[in-house]
């Protein structure tokens, strides 16, 4: 079965900023593009899974988000198979203010990947800079990698320890995460 890499966006693929509101604010992190090429050459599927509560908060709309992902797709050499996002926030509005199953740490986006792309949640990994990314893999057999390229890692590790859900590996960034995932 083909493994899939479920990759967080902000702090994992591109530089973490408060909210990326337009394509011009996207800065792809060093080595990310090459790391995706390595995953693809190794036969992995690549799916971006991202919380984008800026939609529910009114910072940007679905149209702007689509433009941001179009730019990101170009900069990543068209490698990701899909971009799945949660636009919701429980305290938000603009038609998106609700509790949902797709906001990480919920696993809704993983199930969406299964339904839309046939992704297998027994083979592959979740990679992200937030405790939420690691927690979304609970109940699956996906490996988990926390990366140091976004949020301060100590806070995230403390949250994970409190939840009894330590990541399988902690990497400096996506390139080192891919080294670990592809190691024989
Ligand atoms: Mg992130
Ligand atoms: Zn959602």
Reply yes or no on whether 10 is catalytic: yes
Range of the domain at 118: 4-182
**DSSP designation for 106:** S
Catalytic residue among 8, 120, 133, 154: 8
Reply yes or no on whether 81 is catalytic: no
- pLDDT for position 1: 83
Catalytic residue among 10, 74, 168, 172: 10
Query: What does the block give as tokens for 22?
Result: 């337009």
Beta strands in the chain (DSSP E): 4-7, 45-51, 82-86, 124-128, 143-147, 169-171
Q: For every one of its 184 residues, what pLDDT tens digit does the chain have, with 9 covering 90 and above? A: 899 999 999 999 999 999 999 999 999 999 999 999 999 999 999 999 999 999 999 999 999 999 999 999 999 999 999 999 999 999 999 999 999 999 999 999 999 999 999 999 999 999 999 999 999 999 999 999 999 999 999 999 999 999 999 999 999 999 999 999 999 8
The count of domains in the chain is 1
State in Å: Cα 152 to ligand 1 middle: 11
The neighbouring-strand residues paired with 147 are 171
State in Å: Cα 156 to ligand 1 middle: 11
Ligand with the closest atom to the CA of 49: 1
State in Å: Cα 93 to ligand 1 middle: 22
- pLDDT for position 139: 94
If we measure between CA atoms, which residue out of 157, 162, 155, 159 comes closest to residue 145?
Answer: 157
Q: CATH no. for residue 177?
A: 3.40.50.1000
Q: What are phi and psi of 143, to 5 degrees?
A: -75, 155
State in Å: Cα 8 to ligand 1 middle: 5
If we measure between CA atoms, which residue out of 108, 119, 122, 114 comes closest to residue 51?
Answer: 108
Helix ranges restricted to H, 42-135: 62-75, 108-117, 131-135
- The order of strands in the sheet holding 169-171 is 82-86, 45-51, 4-7, 124-128, 143-147, 169-171
Distance CA 106, CA 24 (A): 29
Neighbours of ion ligand 1 (CB under 5 A): 8, 10-11, 129-130, 150
pTM: 0.97
Question: Alpha-carbon dihedral of residues 87, 90, 96, 102, nearest 10 degrees?
Answer: 40
State in Å: Cα 42 to ligand 1 middle: 24
């Amino acid at each position: 079965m083909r493994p899939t890499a479920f990759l967080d966006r902000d702090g994992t693929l591109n530089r973490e900023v408060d909210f990326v509101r337009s394509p011009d604010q996207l800065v792809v992190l060093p080595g990310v593009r090459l790391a995706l090429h390595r995953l693809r050459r190794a036969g992995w599927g690549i799916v971006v899974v991202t919380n984008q509560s800026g939609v529910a908060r009114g910072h940007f709309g679905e149209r702007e988000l689509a433009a941001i992902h179009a730019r990101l797709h170009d900069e990543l050499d068209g490698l990701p198979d899909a971009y799945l996002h949660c636009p919701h926030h429980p305290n938000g509005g603009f038609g998106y203010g609700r509790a949902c199953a797709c906001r990480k740490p919920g696993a809704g986006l993983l199930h969406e990947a299964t339904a839309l792309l046939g992704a297998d949640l027994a083979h592959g990994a979740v990679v992200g800079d937030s405790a939420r990314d690691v927690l979304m893999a609970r109940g699956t057999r996906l490996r988990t990698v926390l990366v140091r390229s976004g949020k301060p890692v100590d806070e995230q590790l403390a949250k994970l320890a409190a939840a009894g859900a330590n990541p399988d590996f902690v990497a400096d960034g996506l390139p080192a995460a891919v080294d670990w995932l592809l190691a024989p």
